[in-house]
Structure 1
Amino acid sequence: MKRIDNFNAGPSALPLSVLERVREELVDYQGTGMSVMEMSHRSAAYEAIHDAAEAKLRRLLNVPDDFRVLFLQGGASLQFAMLPMNFLGPDETALYVLTGVWSEKAAQEAVRFGHVVVDDQAKAEGYTDVPTQVMRPADVDLRYVHVTSNNTIYGTQWRELPVTDSPLVIDMSSDILSRPVDWTNVGVAYAGAQKNLGPSGVTVVFVRDSFLARANGDVPTMLGYPTHVKQRSLYNTPPTFAIYIMGLVLDWIEEQGGVEGIAARNREKAGLLYRVIDEYPDFYLGHAKERARSDVNVTFRLRDDELSARFLAEATKRDFVGVKGHRSVGGCRVSLYNAVSVESATRFATFMEDFVRAHR
């Protein structure tokens, strides 16, 4: 069996032990005589999977009791619209902190439902940093402040969530379960699963009861958070197989020492690559400022385009997959999500050093 070093930005690597467990249970899940893919979502066997996945998420992330946990579909991109549809009225204002492409897209959807103001400090600096302090308009009552905790394309990350006097709404798609979460001022958090939680197909949403109580009433049934809260995410058929695999990934995270253990691993992995970038500044130019460097997406360029093309070609020959930067910015991006091993990161850091020696 051949396994490559998978640095794709999403869908991304899954733990090998999880894939092997899925293979073992694919045809006959725990003596039921059928695959999870074949089960009714109303069956006792599936509901046990569903409820266990929620319980594991709550335990791993220390989710407060006054939050509801939802398993939805449509990815974070649907949340860009669903969230303001539910929580922003035509006479209300929300602040969107722009730190990359995905926060821009979220803001573009929100303007359909209410007033939007933006903090574009990071955009003015080419998305190389995140703000040290959120800039909010004076004398404006904000319904919420939206931030993207990690920016996959630019490789920047909030080291700590910003402090605001309005509820935070957080897109955690690319760093959920990669580090602990401070829930103090969070109204809603959401994340597509395909980077740290499991396969594509399920989106996790955490919504605080007090925030949910102010949800707009005139919303299509399937797009209303209260619908899914009331029905425990079983209003219609959920992405059952993706939720099942997510549950196995959560088991694996617990085996790695929980979120704290995973966070330490992620810092170690990122540090291996950033050390090489800093050691060879004549070869590698990191995109993010040091204080805003992401632990899960390391972005950089080489000193010229020709050398970058050669670097990417040689990386492919060595079975490193997903290293090419996003088409909007170019360069290189190495995504070090939870399931990427320290050994994979070490191999890539060694490759970076070898490339310098071979092309000086």
Structure 2
Amino acid sequence: MTTPSLHAQTVDLATLQSRVDRVLHDFLATKTHGAEDRSLPVDVPVVLRDFLAAGGKRLRPLLCVLGWHAAGGQGDDTAVVQTAAALEMFHAFCLIHDDIMDNSDTRRGRPTVHRQVALRHGHDHLGTSAAILIGDMALAWSDELLHSTGHPSHRLAALRRVIDVMRQEVIYGQYLDLMTPLGPITDHEAALQVIRFKTAKYTVERPLHCGATLADAGPDLHTALSRYALPLGEAFQLRDDLLGVYGRPDDTGKPVLDDLREGKHTVLLALAAQRADTTQRKLLDTLVGTEDLDHDGAARIRTVLDATGARATVEDMIATRYASALAALDAVPCPPPATAALQHIADRLVERTS
């Protein structure tokens, strides 16, 4: 089954997402049967299968295939969809390890992988150790998916170069995210640097480049796609930071206290700290990063975020970056169905509650 022709009116994103999910499901079903046949622990592929099946926006796979469309890709796209699935498998690795580093209890409304294993066996350290290994397996299997796509060797080599850069960028971004709280809370440039590497490049830019590479796109198209991708990726993460403080857990799938308890240095908090008066700053310094922060304390922090105008400024930053992305999209020389789908993706990333 191939995705709609570039001459069609639309690219069916729902169907595309279902095809990516089918690749992941079938791959992990094969891994489960293989583990059974070799008397190996089936809970490794089963836990990973359940984690992927629990939800997720599939942004990176969708953008990968849209990058292929944007570059004029035509014909059988089966290998492109499998490449997209490999990106989602790599993302599972990132999320599982990220949840361990953040000490998060829930993801997508369910226990995180390390908590799930810990609850099953009644041992926290075992849960963490097992989750690290399951994440490592997701990384290995993302490579297996990638290298079994059947791409011609020259195309696979070019794709590999993009993916290698993407992986380095997101890991550097994660490292910066870990280290940023050691610096001043007022440093919003440091928070923006985390956003650029951990989200904007990883979530939007490089997946588009992956797909465009599979259609043999030249550097000019890559540059044009970047002008759309980077502001959009920043807007996406800025929205995520707002949802981390103001969102509804039923929508976001995670507690609204996590980012504040972690003391995550976001642009939102940096702006509030810059503008806070002495009393407001003392409240932020006292409550942000407190492990036992309760809902009353979080409400007091939100009052400061509102009063300093930090929340409103971040909303303005989102709107500005969204407008920049759409303006850049108008200049991307790609077929109309791809343009329409990329605009729809932009709307989904910015106007969301989860």
TM-score normalised by L of structure 2: 0.26
Higher strand share: 1
TM-score normalised by L of structure 1: 0.25
